[in-house]
Homo-oligomer: A and B are copies of this chain.
Amino acid sequence: MRRAWVIASGTELTLGQSVDTNSAWLAARLAALGIRTERIVVVPDDAAALRDALLQAAGATDAILLTGGLGPTDDDLTRQVLADVVGVPLELDPLSIEHLRAFFAARGRDMPERNTVQALVPRTARAIPNACGTAPGVRIAVRGTPCFALPGVPFEMRAMFDRDVAPELRAAAGGAVLLSRRLQTFGLGESDVGGRIADLMQRGRDPEVGTTADLGVIGVRINATAMSADEATRRLDDTEAEIRRRLGDAIFGRDDDTLAAVVGRLLTAAAATLSTAESCTGGLLGALITEVAGSSNYYRGGVVSYANEAKIRLLGVSAADVEQHGAVSEAVARAMADGAGRLFDTPYALAVTGIAGPAGGTPEKPVGLVLISLCSPAGSIARECRFGSDPPRQVIRMRAAHTALNLLRLALLRETQPVQPP
Contact = CB atoms under 8 A, between A and B. Distances in A.
B388 A107 contact: yes
Given A203-B75, A386-B106, A14 B41 contact: no
Interface stretch (A88-96, A186-194, A412-420): A186-194
Nearest to A12: B212
Given A203-B75, A388-B106, A293 B192 contact: no
A13 B11 CA distance: 21
Given A11-B208, A40-B20, A287-B283, A73 B191 contact: yes
A302 B282 CA distance: 8
Contact of A191 (B23, B29, B72, B296): B72
A18 interface: yes
B14 A27 contact: yes
A282 B293 contact: no
A359 B293 contact: yes
Contacts of A30: 16
Contacts of A345: 309
B182 A17 contact: yes
A19 B18 contact: no
A148 interface: no
Contacts of A178: 15
A395 to B, nearest CB: 5
A330 interface: no
A137 B307 CA distance: 40
Interface string A194-215: 1100100111100010111110
Contacts of A391: 132, 155
Nearest to A213: B153
Interface string A2-45: 00000000111111111111011111111100001111111111
Contacts of A28: 15-17
A325 to B, nearest CB: 18
Interface in A58-107: 71-75, 103, 106-107
B27 A40 contact: no
B306 A304 contact: no
A301 B304 contact: yes
A165 interface: no
Contacts of A211: 71, 73, 75
A18 B256 CA distance: 12
Contacts of A359: 293-294
Contacts of A395: 155
Nearest to A290: B282
Contacts of A201: 73-75
Given A12-B210, A155-B395, A299 B306 contact: yes
A16 B39 contact: no
Contacts of A45: 210
A223 interface: yes
B291 A304 contact: no
Given A134-B191, A280-B290, 12 more contacts: A15-B36, A17-B180, A75-B210, A112-B191, A132-B390, A281-B290, A282-B286, A283-B285, A284-B287, A287-B397, A301-B306, A309-B345
12 contacts: A11-B208, A14-B40, A16-B30, A73-B191, A73-B201, A73-B211, A103-B388, A131-B390, A276-B304, A282-B286, A300-B309, A301-B306
* 10 A-B pairs with least C-beta separation: A282-B290, A283-B286, A16-B28, A283-B283, A16-B27, A73-B194, A40-B42, A284-B287, A302-B304, A301-B310
